[in-house]
Structure 1
């Protein structure tokens, strides 16, 4: 497995990967209706993933010749926006590798603190990576989330 910058061509794989991750892991924190709304299986498109944005950083993990996960950092906000791993590749270090790359990139660009809004099912993953819970809120989509931060 390796992690690299996402390319314009990678965008085609991201909607299905995103939806599969939500459908597989979302039930660990949310009810079926919340997961269905979060998954938005019929609404996601490659255009939702602006891998070319200059103020954002998109990475993908490649495993067994396919995109196994993606990470998204909004540097100006110091925010990890997303780390998603396809369920076929879960438990193999893909998410940890993506998060480490995002953190390394942020450090290299002078960022000393990262924040994120974790889904309830992913909070333990971020805690293991050194993030601390600082509160709870609601995502723009109406899901309960855990506000987290980490000093780099």
Structure 2
């Protein structure tokens, strides 16, 4: 049974591995190797996300069963999703949807009327199927530029 919980500092290496393996496997058809290297280096620093977990302005939520299946990060003050990753082998089992619903609920609790993400090209369909609207195509980073899709969900329409 999948449970959702707040991330802990000792989760950082596993979260880094989930993020890297997800991007490397799921985004490889959408990005060049140089783009992938920029967003998901093959040998990432295992403590890469520790600052986000420790930063109280971010909510980092973990989906766990026998181990970590995925995680999501939201900044409730501006209701931006900063990442949502599910292990490739857990894709299609509802883990991503459960995480997304939790991130959305945390933003609703702030009184926000909407939530947005800068989704990777491969992740945009996931958001669109769950009521998000495509706002624009844009790039993040400078070298190399990484194409993303700005998606947004209005809570007022629910």
Q: Same fold (TM over 0.5)?
A: yes
Structure (1 or 2) with the greater helix fraction: 1
Matched with 1:38 is 39
Matched with 1:22 is 23
Distance 2:68 2:24 in 1: 18
Matched with 1:102 is 103
Which secondary structure does the structure 2 equivalent of 1:129 belong to?
coil
Matched with 1:143 is 146
Distance 2:49 2:5 in 1: 19
Matched with 2:134 is 133
Distance 1:33 1:54 in 2: 32
Which secondary structure does the structure 2 equivalent of 1:59 belong to?
strand
Q: CA deviation at 1:47?
A: 4.2
Question: Gapped runs of 5+ residues in structure 2?
Answer: none
Residue pair 2:138, 2:147 contacting (<8 A) in 1 also? yes
RMSD of the alignment, in Å? 1.5
Deviations 1:63-105 (A, max 9, x none): 2x10110100011222011000111211111111110000011
- The reply to whether residue 76 of structure 1 matches residue 109 of structure 2 is no
Residues paired across the two proteins, number: 151
Distance 1:87 1:80 in 2: 20
